[in-house]
């Protein structure tokens, strides 16, 4: 099957209500394939339901730092108390087939021979691409390691972003519009769809991205979801209260 339109999302973080809202929106978007950029679990209350829905929808992706920490608690060493608490909860919830799904996620994925997917950076799941300096480092790393890749998708920061690098090596953050953004054939891109389950740009909606391969565009989409229900589940699971309140604020 030739893939013409992709949906890419990241950092679902066990937020079932947000993921369901994304799929409801996706049902009208005529995409051929759906992929995620890791951090399927952590922070929120529904890790099992989220993995089951991803499996049912045949969504493949890459591993995030919370996914690997759910498999091996030693990897949660650098986590703050909120994240650590949620990982302990996650580990209690997961059944064997959930563990198998998380274990099967690769560090990175190359798609259609031209799109690279990873969680933090190409160096590790824990590394952020959150500023110009880090974007420059990531572009340089890509140019050395995978010179044939021009476009990469990443997550981890929970903030939508498009970094571009022109042929002179100048790096800039593109303005994010509602309309599709055209990707030029002579530039490199690092693109973050933002987060489905815990957005941090003070916009509490669930965020994801549609890639049109023929038109070479990316389009950011944001959907409302039932935050109150997600919050109730967090409190019922006895997770830290701040994990519930932050969802409404988008922080
Ligand atoms: Zn995350």
Q: pLDDT digit string (tens) for 41-67?
A: 999 999 999 999 999 999 999 999 999
Q: How far is the CA of 3 from the centre of ligand 1 (A)?
A: 27
198 dihedral zone (left: phi>0; alpha: psi -120 to 50; beta): beta
Q: How far is the CA of 126 from the centre of ligand 1 (A)?
A: 10
Q: How far apart are CA 133 and CA 76, in angstroms?
A: 26
Q: pLDDT tens across 20-31, in order?
A: 999 999 999 999
Q: How far is the CA of 195 from the centre of ligand 1 (A)?
A: 7
Is residue 198 within 8 A of residue 13, CB to CB? The reply is: yes
pLDDT tier at 1, thresholds 50, 70, 90: low
Boundaries of domain holding 203: 5-249
Amino acid 112: pLDDT: 85
Q: How far is the CA of 118 from the centre of ligand 1 (A)?
A: 12
Amino acid 205: pLDDT: 98
Q: How far is the CA of 224 from the centre of ligand 1 (A)?
A: 19
Q: What is the dihedral of CA 246, 42, 158, 24, to 10 degrees?
A: -90
Average of pLDDT values for 163-178? Answer: 96
Show the beta-strand stretches assigned E in the chain.
5-9, 33-36, 60-61, 108-111, 115-118, 151-153, 161-165, 171-173, 181-182, 188-192, 206-212, 217-223
Average of pLDDT values for 226-245? Answer: 98
Among 108, 100, 142, CA closest to 124: 108
Amino acid 3: pLDDT: 76
Q: How far is the CA of 66 from the centre of ligand 1 (A)?
A: 7
Q: How far is the CA of 2 from the centre of ligand 1 (A)?
A: 30
Q: At what angle do helices 16-26 and 227-236 cross, to 10 degrees?
A: 150
pLDDT at 185 over 70: yes
Q: How far apart are CA 36 and CA 52, in angstroms?
A: 14
What is the domain count for the chain? 1
The total number of residues shown for the chain amounts to: 251
Tokens linked to 167: 């042929």
Q: How far is the CA of 215 from the centre of ligand 1 (A)?
A: 30
Q: How far is the CA of 105 from the centre of ligand 1 (A)?
A: 15
Q: How far apart are CA 72 and CA 85, in angstroms?
A: 14
Tokens 């830290």 sit on residue: 240
Q: How far is the CA of 27 from the centre of ligand 1 (A)?
A: 25
Q: How far is the CA of 140 from the centre of ligand 1 (A)?
A: 24
Q: How far is the CA of 10 from the centre of ligand 1 (A)?
A: 8
Q: How far apart are CA 67 and CA 100, in angstroms?
A: 11
Q: How far is the CA of 199 from the centre of ligand 1 (A)?
A: 9
Q: How far is the CA of 53 from the centre of ligand 1 (A)?
A: 18
Strand order in the sheet with 115-118: 108-111, 115-118, 151-153, 188-192, 161-165, 171-173
Q: pLDDT tens across 202-217, in order?
A: 999 999 999 999 999 9
Give the C-alpha distances (Å, rounded to integers) separating 213 from 98, 120, 216.
Answer: 31, 23, 5
Q: How far is the CA of 47 from the centre of ligand 1 (A)?
A: 13
Q: At what angle do helices 16-26 and 47-56 cross, to 10 degrees?
A: 20
Q: What is the CATH number of the domain that holds 139?
A: 3.60.21.10
pLDDT > 90: percent of the chain? 97
pLDDT at 8 over 80: yes
């Amino acid at each position: 099957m030739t893939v013409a339109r992709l949906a890419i999302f990241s950092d679902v973080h066990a937020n079932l209500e947000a993921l369901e809202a994304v799929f409801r929106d996706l049902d009208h978007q005529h995409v051929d394939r759906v992929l995620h950029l890791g951090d399927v679990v952590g922070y929120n209350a529904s890790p099992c339901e989220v993995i089951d829905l991803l499996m049912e929808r045949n969504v493949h992706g890459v591993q995030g730092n919370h996914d690997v920490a759910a498999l091996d608690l030693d990897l949660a060493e650098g986590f703050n108390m909120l994240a650590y608490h949620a990982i302990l909860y996650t580990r209690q919830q997961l059944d064997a087939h959930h563990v198998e799904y998380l274990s099967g996620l690769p560090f990175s994925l190359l798609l259609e021979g031209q799109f690279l997917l990873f969680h933090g950076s190409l160096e590790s799941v824990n590394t952020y691409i959150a500023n110009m300096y880090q974007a420059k480092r990531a572009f340089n790393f890509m140019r050395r390691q995978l010179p044939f890749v021009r476009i990469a998708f990443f997550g981890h920061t929970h903030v939508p972003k498009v970094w571009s690098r022109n042929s002179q090596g100048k790096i800039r953050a593109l303005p994010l519009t509602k309309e599709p953004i055209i990707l030029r054939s002579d530039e490199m891109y690092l693109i973050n769809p933002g987060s489905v389950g815990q957005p941090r740009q003070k916009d509490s909606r669930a965020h994801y991205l549609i890639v049109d391969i023929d038109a070479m565009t990316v389009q950011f989409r944001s959907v409302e979801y039932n935050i109150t229900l997600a919050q109730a589940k967090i409190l019922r699971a006895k997770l830290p209260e701040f994990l519930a309140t932050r969802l409404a604020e988008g922080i």
